[in-house]
């Protein structure tokens, strides 16, 4: 039987996820949708040609008897209440990042899930599902590099909208590195510092761009991440792990090399949606498959909490200019069997 899915928030990512559930993935169907802008939900149902009920509000959708699982794709500040309501209703819930806008909010979700007694929550961190990052992790865990010592990363976007301000470089952008590097190194962060180089002329007064985030992990690995969101040339994700015995780099996305007019060149992606397209498919298929066997294995509410704790520390580091300690409590045994 197909997993019957309800989608809360039919904006950009909600529509993409509803489309992949309906047209690309197997084992699930979208039976319910909602958004504060009901017209966008109605349009989605029409565009996809699906037989889904448009609910007036997310809580009604969660309560609906024929909804087995919920995708929370609404605006970040609404995530916590919907995820808590889904746990309360005993329903599986896939929540786009952030799990909640504060670490305290994420912790409330962790506590509610533990009290429920069974994993119901998967957080929409898709990079651990990316084939390139998986290959990189295989190399790191194989031990062929020796112990990892340093990681050099870059997260570059061609441009961002006017409403994007300095803290968003952490909360919206770096948060993906905060999640994936924890997973890649199987480690937790202990401190963060943010350094501001000269600002690009392509930025505006409320956005310091680029930024360099320096992280230290519990095992002593040093990480530097350049976040540069008006780099102009493309959407470019770099990750290089330096170990005792060698270096491993995240593979570049496929692109054809051309030789023409005295130049040898390759394209670089410009649209972030295309960079992790396959990873979005794999993460949602994993959620659906996990529901079928009643065992989720993707990023946990604890991972959402950990990213949020680190993100809060990085924002403090932006504001203070200091090295900010990151205090991550020990992982509850509930989240050990991943
Ligand atoms: P978006 O296009 O603005 O869509 C969000 C939608 O949710 C909008 O239609 C919004 O309506 C609606 N909404 C707001 N409050 C709601 C509520 N209480 N109940 C139901 N619907 C509500 O934003 P987006 O780009 O899709 O992002 C949505 C979430 O996904 C964000 O948390 C974002 O960080 C995350 N995201 C993750 C990735 C990733 O790579 N994993 C990528 C993109 C986005 P209005 O527009 O009328 O407010």
CA 125 to ligand 1: nearest atom = 41
Q: Say yes or no: 36 and 88 in one domain.
A: yes
Q: Say yes or no: 79 and 133 in one domain.
A: no
Q: Say yes or no: 217 and 286 in one domain.
A: no
User: What string of H, E and C letters represents the secondary structure of the chain?
Assistant: CCEEEEEECCCHHHHHHHHHHHHHCCCEEEEEEECCCHHHHHHHHHHHCCCCEECCCHHHHHHCCCCCEEEECCCHHHHHHHHHHHHHCCCEEEECCCCCCCHHHHHHHHHHHHHHCCCCEEECCCHHHCHHHHHHHHHHHHCCCCCEEEEEEEEECCCCCCCCCCCHHHHHHHHHHHHHHHHHHCCCEEEEEEECCCCCCCCCCCCCCCEEEEEEECCCCEEEEEEECCCCCCCEEEEEEEECCCEEECCCCCCCEEEECCEEEECCCCCHHHHCHHHHHHHHHHHHHHHHCCCCCCCCHHHHHHHHHHHHHHHHHHHHCCCEECCCCCCCHHHCCC
Stated pTM of the model: 0.95
Closest C-alpha to ligand 1, atom 13:
74
Q: Say yes or no: 118 and 133 in one domain.
A: no
252 Cα–ligand 1 center, Å: 29
Q: Say yes or no: 195 and 141 in one domain.
A: yes
Q: Say yes or no: 106 and 42 in one domain.
A: yes
- Number of domains, the chain: 2
Q: Say yes or no: 234 and 289 in one domain.
A: no
Closest C-alpha to ligand 1, atom 8:
11
Which pLDDT band holds residue 337 (cuts at 50, 70, 90)?
A: low
Provide the CATH number for the domain around residue 288. 3.40.50.720
Q: Say yes or no: 111 and 190 in one domain.
A: no
CA 172 to ligand 1: nearest atom = 34
Taking only the tens place, the pLDDT of each residue in 149-208 is 999 999 999 999 999 999 999 999 999 999 999 999 999 999 999 999 999 999 999 999
Closest C-alpha to ligand 1, atom 20:
35
Q: Say yes or no: 87 and 39 in one domain.
A: yes
Q: Say yes or no: 75 and 140 in one domain.
A: no
For residue 240, the model assigns a pLDDT of 98
What residues does ligand 1 touch, defined as CB less than 6 Å away? 8-14, 34-37, 40, 58, 73-76, 78, 96-97, 124, 126
Which pLDDT band holds residue 91 (cuts at 50, 70, 90)?
A: very high
126 Cα–ligand 1 center, Å: 16
Closest C-alpha to ligand 1, atom 9:
11
Provide the CATH number for the domain around residue 179. 3.30.360.10
Q: Which domain holds residue 26?
A: 3-125+278-298
For residue 273, the model assigns a pLDDT of 86
Closest C-alpha to ligand 1, atom 18:
78
Q: Say yes or no: 118 and 165 in one domain.
A: no
Taking only the tens place, the pLDDT of each residue in 126-146 is 999 999 999 999 999 999 999
Taking only the tens place, the pLDDT of each residue in 48-81 is 999 999 999 999 999 999 999 999 999 999 999 9
Q: Say yes or no: 105 and 245 in one domain.
A: no
Mutate to test the pocket of ligand 1, among 74, 124, 179, 275 (most ligand atoms within 8 A of CB): 74
């Amino acid at each position: 039987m197909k997993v019957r899915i309800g989608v809360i928030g039919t904006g950009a990512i909600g529509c993409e996820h509803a489309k992949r559930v309906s047209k690309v993935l197997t084992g699930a169907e979208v039976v319910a949708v909602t958004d504060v802008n009901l017209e966008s939900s109605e349009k989605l149902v029409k565009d996809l040609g699906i037989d889904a009920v448009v609910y007036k509000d997310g809580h009604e959708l969660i309560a609906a008897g024929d909804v087995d699982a919920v995708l929370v794709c609404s605006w970040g500040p609404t995530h916590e209440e919907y995820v808590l309501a889904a746990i309360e209703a005993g329903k599986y819930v896939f929540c786009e990042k952030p799990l909640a806008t504060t670490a305290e909010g994420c912790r409330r979700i962790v506590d509610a899930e533990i009290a429920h007694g069974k994993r119901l929550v998967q957080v929409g961190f898709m990079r651990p599902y990316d084939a390139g990052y998986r290959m990189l992790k295989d190399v790191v865990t194989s031990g062929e590099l020796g112990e990892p010592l340093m990681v050099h990363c870059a997260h570059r976007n061609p441009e961002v909208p006017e409403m994007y301000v300095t803290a968003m470089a952490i909360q919206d952008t770096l948060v993906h590195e905060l999640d994936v590097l924890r997973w890649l190194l199987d480690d937790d962060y202990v401190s963060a510092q943010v350094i501001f180089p000269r600002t690009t002329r392509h930025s505006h007064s409320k956005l310091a761009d680029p930024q360099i985030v320096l992280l230290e992990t519990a095992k002593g690995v040093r990480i530097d991440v350049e976040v540069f969101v008006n780099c102009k040339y493309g959407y470019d994700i770099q990750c290089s792990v330096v170990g005792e015995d060698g270096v491993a780099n995240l593979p570049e996305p496929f692109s054809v090399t051309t030789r023409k007019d005295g130049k040898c060149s390759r394209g670089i992606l410009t649209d972030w949606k295309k960079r992790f397209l396959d990873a979005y498919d794999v993460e949602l298929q994993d959620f659906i498959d996990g529901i079928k066997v009643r065992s989720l294995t993707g990023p946990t509410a604890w991972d959402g909490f950990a990213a949020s704790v680190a993100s809060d520390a990085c924002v403090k580091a932006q504001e203070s200019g200091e090295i900010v300690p990151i205090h991550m409590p020990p992982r509850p045994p509930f989240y050990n069997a991943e």
